Amino acid sequence: MKEKIHIFQPKLSWLAIPFALIFIAYFIVPLTLTLIVSFWDYTEYSIIPDFIVGNYIYIFDGCFTFENGLCLTFKTYISTFFFCFFTWLITLLLGFCVAYFLAFYVNSLPLQITLFLICTIPFWTSNVIRMVSWIPLLGRNGLVNDTLITLGLIQEPIEWLLYSSFSVILALVHLYTLFMIVPIFNSMLRIDKEVIEAAYDSGANQFQIIKNVIIPLCKPGIIIGSIFVITVVMGDFLTIGIMGGQQLASIGKIINTEMNYLQLPGAAANSVILLFITIFIIIVMTKFIDIRKEL
Amino acid sequence: MKSKNSSSISRRKMLKLGTGTTAAAVAALYAPSVISSDPITLRYLGTAVSMGDEVQKKLFEDTGLKVKFIAVTTDEVTKRVLTQPNSFDLVDTEYFSLPKLVPSGNILGMDTKRIKEWDNVTSIFTKGVTPSGKKVGLQGTAPSKVMYLEGSTGKKFANEVTQYATLIPTIYNADTLGIRPDLIGRPISSWAELLNPEFKGKAATLNIPSIGIMDAAMVVEAMGEYTYPDKGNMTKDEIDLTMKIFTEAKKAGQFRAFWTDFNESVNLMASGEVVIQSMWSPAITAVKSQGKDCVYQPLKEGYRAWAAGFALPKTTKGKTADAVYEFVNWYLSGWVGAYLNRQGYYSAVLPTAKQYMSEDEWGFWMEGKAAQGDILSPTGAKLASAGEKRDGGSYEDRMGGVACWNATMDENKYMVRKWNEMVAS
């Protein structure tokens, strides 16, 4: 006769409770508060509970009349989208290539891990130190300009190497390529080698294998990496600020300035708009692929 | 009737008993601290620009008090005072923040009768004139305009002298443009040079709107474009005009960068990316200490000044408040004053600071005299050699040359927006 063994078996959904609580306390609640405060009124020294849409109207003031050209908000979002798009494009290309190399060309695991760790070097130093150290490299009297002048390739130092859109995108790419590498690499490792062999045996060349086999199977990784990069860059103001010489607009900087000047409801309204735009971008991206199905 | 009476007696009894117990409990609570004389630790909220370890050490030696710094940025100080007034015992903030802080009622007036050296506080704060009687420019939030409160819990500035001060002044200075004379190679004498096309791509200003706009106004006035009735309180039209001129300059590539952080300004100047910019005096010292020639250039239109001081949050009471007064009195008693003066700032009570400085130091920093020997910073770094003079000269010349003070404008919100528009252009 078999004894029935009773094991305490909670419903699986219970296991989600701890995370759900954290999620509610540190995400849902603050977000709700931000949403609420964005409808409050404020003075120089206080915020006043209220329900006004003035903060939102103020943000889009003059945006639809085009009296003075583009309004501040539109200009700022265009500038933010610009950085976002190019950073995304470049990190995607670089991240894909690096992941491809790591996954398919490096066969020993220790070497794979070593190379992977090397990719994390940009995160070993503090953000500020890293950005300050670009000056001796890209500055007017920096290493790059000095070398080019010594080689006789240029007569005058190139000014746009630093404090320009170029330097901003360079720094962002330098920072966030890893965010692309990790998920894409992860997707690539899951690809069954036999599938690639089958493609090869069927006469596909390398380009065709990448295009028709690897990329489709890496889509979840690509999408996850893209979400990381886009959300981070959309809200960035430190890198854009320092590398752009504070002369390039980003929506993060506007929110930062408003918070410094205690215009908290205004900052909250801007944050809500930024959040919805970012969510919209992510929704559009996930339209291309159902991440949950692919995972 | 009887029962009512008895109950009232017992209630009174209870009350008595209650007070007694509370008193005993309080005594028990405080007694150990008296016996072991635990040092009081004051939570000091401020930017801590001027407070090194040696100040804390000396404080403990002299008074047995300790401070715990909550070091944040100027804007963050304001935010903290308004949103978390019980998170500190003492705040060190700037006068231009007062129009935001005072109406909130979160800071108390400091009782000037409890400040020993109050009568010796420099007249720049109390009367708006230098010690020798020279009138100081009062545009902007000049300390003498916001010095007094109507009462200790007043939410309004008093127009006349009262017993209660908003801030007990601690540190102040006159700011101007910093230049690299070795890279410019000619004399600079006006704020207008910041927008001189000669320095295209080699100029910088700061991306802190409330201060940046004041420097911008100094430039606009120096260029002869406009004369402001009050640079520290512009109308919308005046803000538009100022920002238009700066936007055009920015679009033409005048600025290499804007900076928000002190260290950024040091890097810009030391690397030679920038040869002329809005700058703060310790940044000049930092560039010099890297062996680069850097001058805090006096300009004919005058200086933009700033000042900071101590305030008491409304939540600080009793023993802690006493300790705060003891700390403030110690701060003004001279040692710290000398320490500040040696960094190129100014102390609020000059006579006490003088006692702690050598004749040569006093002559160099305060009287504009040539140094007799090496002039050292509090940390021992050499700041000047024999024969050198301080940029801008004496205290009278520098503070007497103040044209305006850091300010909070009535049109602050509009100003911040216009500033953001310039950055985005």
Quick check: B207 and A246 CB within 8 A?
Answer: yes
User: For B175-304+370-424, which CATH class?
Assistant: alpha beta
Quick check: B100 and A262 CB within 8 A?
Answer: yes
**Six token digits for residue B207:** 């991306």
How many other CB atoms are there within 10 angstroms of residue B272's CB atom?
Answer: 15
B19 to A158, A295, B7, B26, B353: CA distances (angstroms): 79, 69, 18, 10, 48
Position B16 confidence tier, pLDDT thresholds 50, 70, 90: very low
Spatial contact of B406 and B233, defined as CB atoms under 8 Å apart: no
CA neighbours closer than 13 Å in the CB half-sphere of residue B401: 18
Residue A141 has a pLDDT of 84
Exposed, middle or buried: residue A228 (CB in 10 Å: 0-12, 13-18, 19+)?
A: middle
Hey, CA dihedral for B407, B412, B417, B418, is it positive or negative? negative
Three-state SS at A42? strand
- Across residues B69-95, what is the average pLDDT? 89
A279 to A265, A286, A289, B174, B224: CA distances (angstroms): 21, 10, 15, 48, 50
pLDDT at B11 over 50: no
Provide the ipTM: 0.80
The residue among B241 and A43 whose pLDDT is bigger is: B241
Three-state SS at B410? coil
Pick from A144, A250, A260, A270 the residue to mutate for testing the B interface (most B CBs within 10 Å).
A260
Q: Which residue has the tokens 């130091």?
A: B361
Chain A hits for B264, CB-CB cut-off 8 Å, are 132, 242
Helices (H), B106-186: 123-126, 181-184
Beta strands at B66-71 and B41-46: parallel, antiparallel or unpaired: parallel
Residue A43 has a pLDDT of 83
**Model pTM score:** 0.82
**C-alpha closest to that of A55 among A33, A74, A40, A73:** A40
Size of interface A-B (CB pairs under 8 A): 90
- Beginning with the edge strand found earlier in the chain, give each strand of the sheet holding B255-259 in spatial order: B255-259, B203-206, B276-278, B177-179, B295-297
Name the average pLDDT for chain B. 87
Task: Tell me which chain A residue has its CA closest to the CA of residue B257.
Answer: A245
CB environment B156-166: b (16+ within 10 A), e (fewer): ebbeeebbbbb
pLDDT exceeding 90 applies to what percent of chain A?
49
Quick check: A79 and B424 CB within 8 A?
Answer: yes
**C-alpha closest to that of A103 among A176, A209, A205, A198:** A209
Chain B hits for A76, CB-CB cut-off 8 Å, are 420, 424
Write out the H or E segment, with its range, that includes residue B376: strand B375-376
- Residue among A75, A141, A258 minimizing CB distance to B271: A141
Chain A hits for B271, CB-CB cut-off 8 Å, are 135-136, 139-141
- Across residues A146-172, what is the average pLDDT? 91
Task: Tell me which chain B residue has its CA closest to the CA of residue A44.
Answer: B100
Rounded CA gap, A260 and B97, in Å? 12
CATH number attached to the domain at A71-294: 1.10.3720.10
Chain A hits for B258, CB-CB cut-off 8 Å, are 245-247
Quick check: A139 and B412 CB within 8 A?
Answer: no
Quick check: A44 and B100 CB within 8 A?
Answer: yes
DSSP, res A103: I
Quick check: B425 and A162 CB within 8 A?
Answer: no
Rounded CA gap, B276 and B296, in Å? 10
Three-state SS at B347? strand
Pick from B100, B180, B269, B273 the residue to mutate for testing the A interface (most A CBs within 10 Å).
B273
Quick check: B82 and A262 CB within 8 A?
Answer: yes
In chain B, domain spans: 1-29, 41-174+306-355, 175-304+370-424
Three-state SS at B83? helix
pLDDT exceeding 70 applies to what percent of chain B?
90
- Angle at Cα A15 formed by Cα A9 and Cα A20, nearest 5°? 155
Residue B180 has a pLDDT of 96
Quick check: B424 and A76 CB within 8 A?
Answer: yes
- Do B41-174+306-355 and B175-304+370-424 come out as alike in CATH topology? yes
Residue A238 has a pLDDT of 87
The string of pLDDT tens digits covering residues A107-130 is: 888 998 899 888 888 778 777 777
Quick check: A245 and B103 CB within 8 A?
Answer: no
What residues of A are in the B interface, CB distance below 8 Å? 44-46, 72, 75-76, 79, 132, 135-136, 139-141, 159, 162-163, 241-242, 245-249, 253-254, 257-263
Chain A hits for B209, CB-CB cut-off 8 Å, are 257, 261
Chain B hits for A253, CB-CB cut-off 8 Å, are 420, 423
Quick check: B412 and A261 CB within 8 A?
Answer: yes
User: For B41-174+306-355, which CATH class?
Assistant: alpha beta
DSSP, res B278: E
Residue B47 has a pLDDT of 81
Quick check: A139 and B273 CB within 8 A?
Answer: yes
Quick check: B99 and A44 CB within 8 A?
Answer: yes
Checking B385-394 for CB contacts under 8 A at 24+ apart, the result is B388/B364, B389/B364, B390/B344, B390/B364, B390/B365, B391/B284, B391/B295, B391/B296, B391/B297, B391/B298, B392/B174, B392/B176, B392/B296, B392/B298, B392/B303, B392/B368, B393/B298, B393/B368, B394/B366, B394/B367, B394/B368
Quick check: B273 and A260 CB within 8 A?
Answer: no
B353 to B51, B181, B365, B421: CA distances (angstroms): 16, 32, 12, 45
Count of residues in chain B: 425
CA distance B239 to chain A (A): 16
Rounded CA gap, B61 and A167, in Å? 51
pLDDT at B22 over 50: no
The string of pLDDT tens digits covering residues A15-28 is: 888 999 999 999 99
Position A3 confidence tier, pLDDT thresholds 50, 70, 90: low
**C-alpha closest to that of A267 among B416, B297, B226, B243:** B416
Chain A hits for B79, CB-CB cut-off 8 Å, are 259-260, 262
In chain A, domain spans: 71-294
The string of pLDDT tens digits covering residues B297-309 is: 999 999 999 999 9
Residue B5 has a pLDDT of 42
pLDDT at B41 over 80: yes
Quick check: A261 and B250 CB within 8 A?
Answer: no
Pick from B72, B250, B420 the residue to mutate for testing the A interface (most A CBs within 10 Å).
B420
Position A79 confidence tier, pLDDT thresholds 50, 70, 90: very high
- Residue among A72, A135, A259 minimizing CB distance to B424: A72
**Six token digits for residue A136:** 């001796």
pLDDT at A106 over 60: yes
The string of pLDDT tens digits covering residues B345-372 is: 999 999 999 999 999 999 999 999 999 9
| CA A6 to chain centroid | 48
pLDDT exceeding 90 applies to what percent of chain B?
61
Rounded CA gap, A200 and A85, in Å? 34
B323 to B42, B145, B153, B328: CA distances (angstroms): 8, 28, 19, 9
Residue A271 has a pLDDT of 95
What residues of B are in the A interface, CB distance below 8 Å? 73, 75-76, 78-79, 82, 99-101, 103-104, 201, 204, 207, 209-210, 250, 255-260, 263-264, 267, 271-273, 408, 412-413, 416-417, 419-421, 423-425
Quick check: B100 and A246 CB within 8 A?
Answer: no
